[in-house]
Amino acid sequence: MTKRDLVVRISTETGVNQRIVTDVVQRTLDHIINELSAGRGVELRNFGVFSLKKRKKRIGRNPNAPKNTVQIPERTVVKFKPGKIMKEKVSKL
């Protein structure tokens, strides 16, 4: 499912203009990105939690030339932990 598919579904279900739905979806995603980039987590009840995790620096290797090592710097990544309802629905697959 793409963002466009999501917008079309919401618009069809609610009868709200697609431009308005697109704006709301994009603003929601922008606010999530802004919170994460400010170093804060985002919790959406019954959906999941976005949090930040520091990955330590490490040494990587090129699979085609294993003797060549590459220093991978420390970085921050986004971690997602699904909520209870999502876990339950996905586990039924």
pLDDT for 3-49, tens place per residue?
999 999 999 999 999 999 999 999 999 999 999 999 999 999 989 99
pLDDT for 36-92, tens place per residue?
999 999 999 989 999 999 999 999 988 888 888 999 999 999 999 999 999 999 999
Could you tell me the pTM of the whole model? Answer: 0.81
Q: Which domains occur in the chain, in start order? A: 3-91 (4.10.520.10)
Q: Extract the tokens encoding 64.
A: 């085609």
Do residues 36 and 78 lie in contact, with contact meaning Cβ atoms separated by under 8 Å?
A: yes
Interatomic CA distance for residues 77 and 82, integer angstroms: 16
- Please report, for residues 60, 82, 92, the alpha-carbon distance to residue 89 in angstroms, rounded to integers and kept in the order given: 37, 11, 6
